[in-house]
Chain A
């Protein structure tokens, strides 16, 4: 278990380093598409919140895009 956690931690640290070290450069005037609302990791927060609530009540997992607390006696 601890070994798995360490492996995942190392993998995540590696990914963050990869993101930091990436050489891609996008100039500010080239970010018109990225500025669109649909270019978001969570373009529909209320739909996402409803989904999170459903899956939290039907499955054993949680976590992902946000650091919300408990808040439901459904599981």
Chain B
């Protein structure tokens, strides 16, 4: 409003030139596009709403812009923001009485008797991703990508790339790829010593390096059936510990919590996975199936089965129910608690995500167009149920009375919109 009351300033020649140039930048692509018949750009919006019962809530909008070029190249850029609030288990054991502790940020946290201790948290993560794909002749293509993300106590910067080539009259496709990521972990309140009472050893950042390789092959088996096999190896080194997690030291007879120590994990982890996938076309519908076997040097093994069935209702509309089953064994250094007076192990964690775990996911996606509105919409709802080992055989004393890994119900909804222009 104040600007409106000020006298108009005489326009400078430089401002005129910049103004004209800005208009030209805006109008020329638009005019060129009006003459085109095929869309050359795409915008994708998705928004995730995620809620764990009595635990974490996440709101995550993502926007991606993709530009297609006439020679088959495309580039894309993506911006995502995660807003995370709620609480997560500290890893400590429940007690028959109210437990009180101080968080890394200095807050006093109280856990009710008989319940898993939780720690409240709040964070915001911003991520930027870019990709560039380029064909090299008819049979070969390359993809280069980069990512950057930052949150309160973590930063990641990485690049990745892959080459794909078609063989055997394009019945077979081979992909070779890899990536490196240079991450930094800077815990709120400083980095605690592993398996200590919380002694801060420094307040700077800790390096975490991740590199991975991918080898994949996909094969056309018939007019309606494709299968693929993908293998990945991932090498992690550096600070791999979860600085906010705790391990309870318990009385050797009663199982009552006596104190707690910090989490400590090895500084290297090699992960491997093999994924088998199939896409099969029925009369109109499509069946997607996959199985993944995963193993790592922390001794975690897992099996994942994923099933989706796309029921095509018309050219623009489909429903796609999904079912996923996941099962993992525990890491070799996972423990529900440490016994008072016993020698400390080299590593230890009570993070339930490194314990024995099962996840079942059911849900469905609905894809459609809305009347004359350009673009297409997808709406997906999912329910996840995650269960650990609530009564481990090595629980002692009062811990046998508690559910040490209560099942978690997780609901998520994703709304997506894609617009070509």
State whether A60 touches B210 (Cβ < 8 A). Answer: no
In the complex, whether B115 has a CB less than 8 A from a CB of chain A is no
Bound Cα distance A48, B15 (Å): 46
A46 to chain B, nearest CB (A): 5
Interface residues in A31-75 (C-beta closer than 8 Å to B): 31, 33-34, 38-41, 43-44, 46-47, 50, 54-55, 58-73, 75
Task: List A contacts of B392 (CB < 8 A).
Answer: none
State whether A67 touches B229 (Cβ < 8 A). Answer: no
In the complex, whether B276 has a CB less than 8 A from a CB of chain A is yes
Residues of B near any A CB (own CB < 8 A): 44, 46, 48, 50, 60, 62, 64, 125, 127, 147, 149, 151, 153-154, 156, 158-160, 162, 168-172, 177-181, 183, 185, 208, 210-214, 217-224, 226-232, 234, 236, 242, 271-277, 279, 281, 286, 288, 290, 292-300, 302, 304, 310, 312, 318, 326, 328, 331, 353-354, 357, 359, 365, 378, 380, 384, 386, 410, 412, 414, 416
Between A and B, 27 residue pairs with Cβ closer than 8 Å are: A1-B297, A19-B217, A19-B227, A20-B168, A20-B217, A25-B169, A26-B220, A26-B223, A31-B223, A40-B279, A46-B62, A46-B416, A58-B384, A60-B296, A61-B292, A61-B300, A61-B302, A62-B271, A63-B212, A63-B272, A63-B275, A63-B292, A65-B230, A69-B179, A71-B127, A72-B149, A73-B151
Bound Cα distance A68, B235 (Å): 12
Bound Cα distance A44, B367 (Å): 11
Bound Cα distance A54, B159 (Å): 21
State whether B273 touches A60 (Cβ < 8 A). Answer: no
Residue of B154, B214, B277 near A67 (CB, 8 A) is B214
Bound Cα distance A17, B44 (Å): 38
Task: List B contacts of A70 (CB < 8 A).
Answer: 156, 158, 181, 183, 208, 210, 236
State whether A12 touches B212 (Cβ < 8 A). Answer: no
Residue of B125, B178, B226 near A41 (CB, 8 A) is B226
State whether B294 touches A47 (Cβ < 8 A). Answer: no
Task: List A contacts of B227 (CB < 8 A).
Answer: 19
Residues of A near any B CB (own CB < 8 A): 1, 4-5, 8-9, 11-12, 15-16, 19-20, 22, 24-26, 28, 30-31, 33-34, 38-41, 43-44, 46-47, 50, 54-55, 58-73, 75
B interface secondary structure, majority: strand
A interface secondary structure, majority: loop
Q: Known interface pairs A19-B219, A47-B380, A73-B185. Does A58 touch B226 (Cβ–Cβ under 8 Å)?
A: no
B301 to chain A, nearest CB (A): 8
Nearest B residue to A75 via CB reads: B353
Task: List A contacts of B48 (CB < 8 A).
Answer: 50
State whether A12 touches B277 (Cβ < 8 A). Answer: no
Residue of B177, B274, B298, B380 near A12 (CB, 8 A) is B274
